[in-house]
Amino acid sequence: MTSKPSLTCEALLTEASSRIESDSPRLDAELLLSHIAGLSRTSFRAWPEREVTDAHADAFEALVQDRVAGRPVAHLLGQQEFWSLPLKVSASTLIPRPDTECLVEVALDLALPRQARVLDLGTGAGAIALALASENPDWRISACDAVAEAVALARDNADALGLTVSVVQSSWFSALTPGRFDLIVSNPPYIPDSDHHLTEGDVRFEPASALVSGSDGLDDLRLIISQAPDWLVEGGWLLVEHGFDQAEAVAELFHARGFKTVETRQDYGNRDRMTLGKWYSGA
């Protein structure tokens, strides 16, 4: 029978980090232990020899085993921070990515009316809509998702944060109440169905419906770009996230549909990840 490792924060974190295979094993381990023990990550550095109870060590080990098996940290914690907002997450939605904060930054830089009407298509946990609402409480923000569990989760997040966002169930525009928006934003599925990354890493545990979009990854983007003008005011904006190698194809879709002022923007890694365009019906 193997002996239990020393029950100090540092010993537990060092041992767990050696078993976790990810881009940030130490960070993963610290987040899991912080969640279990109710301690801040900074305390692990300030007091590395702080002792951990047997119960906390056992609970931490159970989470570490799940992480070693590949389950995302966000699913193990039931939470992911986005735009400094703590969001509940689940296996029914895409885990909000830090680079999607770039989409929020671009949206906030647009010259929109003080009480702009904004629509977040495929909201998932509500990350984009709630980030925008936190910055502009006067904006009238709507969000939708085709998955009932995602709609419930986004509503729960809005309630928990005290932010006003109207969330409805709709596959893109199909079940929305007719109206016009100053801005439509979306981080839709954009991975080709044959992409090998779908069988690797954390992505394996996320819903395919939030990731995959046809043989070239552009099926949902084609639909959104094609139908968005019917939902935009004159001079309204469409802003979408896409794959780093899809910028040219997405910009062509914008131009073909008649959008003006089409631009591609980069994420934090300086990769082409967002395209936006302005709509004028008479153009």
What pLDDT, on a 0 to 100 scale, did the predictor assign at position 193? 74
Q: Domain count of the chain? A: 2
Q: Whose structure tokens read 């702080």?
A: 50
Mean pLDDT of 23-38: 90
What pLDDT, on a 0 to 100 scale, did the predictor assign at position 115? 96
pLDDT band at 1 (very low <50, low <70, confident <90, very high): very low
Each residue of 86-114: pLDDT tens digit? 999 988 888 898 899 999 999 999 999 99
- The residue with greater pLDDT, 217 or 143, is 143
Each residue of 62-72: pLDDT tens digit? 999 999 988 88
Each residue of 40-58: pLDDT tens digit? 888 888 888 888 999 999 9
What pLDDT, on a 0 to 100 scale, did the predictor assign at position 202? 61
Structure tokens at 144: 């939708």
Q: Is 152 helix (H, G, I), strand (E, B) or coil?
A: helix
What pLDDT, on a 0 to 100 scale, did the predictor assign at position 283? 55
Q: What is the pTM of this model?
A: 0.85
pLDDT band at 139 (very low <50, low <70, confident <90, very high): very high
What pLDDT, on a 0 to 100 scale, did the predictor assign at position 262? 97
Each residue of 178-194: pLDDT tens digit? 999 999 999 998 777 76
Structure tokens at 92: 């029914």
For residue 127, being part of any structural domain is answered with yes
Is 106 found in the same domain as 233? yes
Is 145 found in the same domain as 56? no
What pLDDT, on a 0 to 100 scale, did the predictor assign at position 190? 77
Q: Is the pLDDT of residue 6 over 70?
A: no
Is 175 found in the same domain as 46? no
Is 271 found in the same domain as 171? yes
Mean pLDDT, the chain, integer? 90
Q: Give the chain's end-to-end CA distance (angstroms, integer).
A: 76
Is 265 found in the same domain as 189? yes
Is 121 found in the same domain as 219? yes
Mean pLDDT of 217-227: 93
Is 273 found in the same domain as 192? yes
Domain that holds residue 60: 9-69
Is 102 found in the same domain as 44? no
CATH of the domain at 20: 1.10.8.10
Run of H or E residues at 28: helix 25-37
CA distance 80 to 57: 23
Mean pLDDT of 152-174: 97
**With contact defined as beta carbons under 8 Å apart, do 164 and 133 qualify?**
yes
Q: Is the pLDDT of residue 228 over 60?
A: yes
What pLDDT, on a 0 to 100 scale, did the predictor assign at position 92? 82
Of 282, 253, 250, 280, which is closest to residue 265 (Cα–Cα)?
250
Is 51 found in the same domain as 100? no
CATH of the domain at 172: 3.40.50.150
What pLDDT, on a 0 to 100 scale, did the predictor assign at position 238? 98
Of 159, 115, 178, which is closest to residue 141 (Cα–Cα)?
115
Mean pLDDT of 123-149: 96
Is 187 found in the same domain as 64? no
Is 107 found in the same domain as 55? no
For the chain, give the percent of residues with pLDDT over 70. Answer: 90
Q: Is the pLDDT of residue 201 over 70?
A: no
Q: Is the pLDDT of residue 263 over 70?
A: yes
